[in-house]
Amino acid sequence: MSLSSNFFCDLATPGVQALQPYQPGKPIEELQREFGVSDIVKLASNENPLGPSPKAVAAAQEALAEIHRYPDGNGYLLRQALAAHHDIDPICVTMGSGSNDLLEMVARAFLGPGREAGFARHAFAIYAIASQAVGATLVQTPANPPDHAQPCGHDLDAMQAAITANTRVVFIANPNNPTGTWLTAEELERFFASVPRDVIIVLDEAYVEYAEAAPGYRQGADWVRRYPNLVVTRTFSKAYGLAGLRVGYGLSSPEVADLLDRVRMPFNVSIPAQAAAIAALTDQVHVQTSVELNRKEMARLQDVLGAMGLSWLPSAGNFLCLRVGPRAGDIYQALLRQGVIVRPVGGGYQLDEFLRVSVGLPRENDRFLAALASLRDQGLLEVSP
């Protein structure tokens, strides 16, 4: 029997039929294959350039001796460690294979056909993907205007106004990826108090460790006890440097945590990942060293980029959303040919004149700045006088 090219697509659910796969930052190996480039600098995926704590590496290596066993499906030791870290009951902790896993659990538990998911323009792509995959209606609200103190950031008034009787989940990133913008404690408190209790609020704090010094910032774990419809998602992929092990977690009321556990896949966090995460929590010096490096290099990047006549969005993360003009796609490709990987944020992110650049080690940032300067000298990059 001959099958049409659309046969299997037609078998999928309507939400999946219309989905576009998530596009991660280009891997180093892919750039090597495409252009034969060596000595590559990757500043595309907001990874910790220092890598993980040596304690985490040692714990993961030791745990490899047990990988013929299934991991503890309930993650008892990891949940205990996270509960102690946040001074919260372990029953409020949900383990995830990265925080992305938590976002999908929320979608599976609370969304579906006839239910709405709200999120801001320029927000993390997974909010829409996870929601659409389960058949939910997507409600994207306008972002802050260009003259706002946080341009392109979340407009919480617009998000609140878009809530209807069909809204079941609202996604908020603080700081937001890919813009780097953030919300203050006062803004969030006002929003939380205004949202009906039958709407789940997801506060995505993937970059929380980098944001602690941002003016007005406050971490969401402090609000979990007060707002039973709040889910705070965290990850070990950024400041803790464990992106390759895929481990994250959620903090919520016991009732919501119970529902998330019902849709959580069995054994979703591996033995090495659980061991590394527990060890990483004990090395807050490494986290602070990583945050301090980010602070210093972020300031240096901004000084040089500003002197070049470039601008960027305010950022409380470990990256800059840099305005490079209407030829952003060409600039991205030209940087690739020089062995520098950054992240385009056009398309679904609707930031066509921007590139997102992770803050790397000093030598990596130097490579990026030199490559960008060469494009300016070639006339490809237009800068303000």
pLDDT digits (tens, 9 = 90+) for 273-313: 999 999 999 999 999 999 999 999 999 999 999 999 999 99
Residue with tokens 């993907």: 129
Helix, coil or strand: residue 343? strand
CB 140 within 8 A of CB 121: yes
The pLDDT tens digits for 365-375 are 999 999 999 99
The amino acid present at 323, given as its one-letter code, is: R
Q: 226: Cβ–Cβ under 8 A, 6 or more apart, which residues? A: 192
* Alpha carbon 185 to its chain's center: 20
Confidence of residue 91 (pLDDT cuts 50, 70, 90): very high
CB atoms within 10 A of CB 323: 17
Alpha-carbon distance 80 to 308, whole Å? 49
Alpha-carbon distance 285 to 200, whole Å? 34
Buried/exposed 193-224: b ≥16 CB within 10 Å, e otherwise: eebeeebbbbbbbbbbbbbeebeebbbbbebb
CB 242 within 8 A of CB 78: no
Q: 345: Cβ–Cβ under 8 A, 6 or more apart, which residues? A: 178, 321, 351, 354, 355, 356
DSSP code at position 153? S
- Tell me the mean pLDDT in the region 214-229: 95
Alpha-carbon distance 200 to 188, whole Å? 14
Alpha-carbon distance 235 to 248, whole Å? 4
pLDDT at 1 over 60: no
Its pTM stands at: 0.94
Alpha-carbon distance 94 to 79, whole Å? 8
pLDDT at 19 over 90: no
The pLDDT tens digits for 26-63 are 788 888 888 888 889 999 999 999 999 999 999 999 99
Architecture of the domain whose range is 24-46+285-377: Alpha-Beta Complex (3.90)
Sign of the dihedral through C-alpha 351, 353, 354, 355: positive
Class of the CATH domain delimited by 54-282? alpha beta
Token pair for residue 171? Answer: 């996604």
How high is the pLDDT of residue 34? 83
Domain boundaries defined on the chain? 24-46+285-377, 54-282
Confidence of residue 4 (pLDDT cuts 50, 70, 90): low
Token pair for residue 174? Answer: 């603080």
The amino acid present at 65, given as its one-letter code, is: A
The pLDDT tens digits for 141-188 are 999 999 999 999 999 999 999 999 999 999 999 999 999 999 999 999
DSSP code at position 4? -
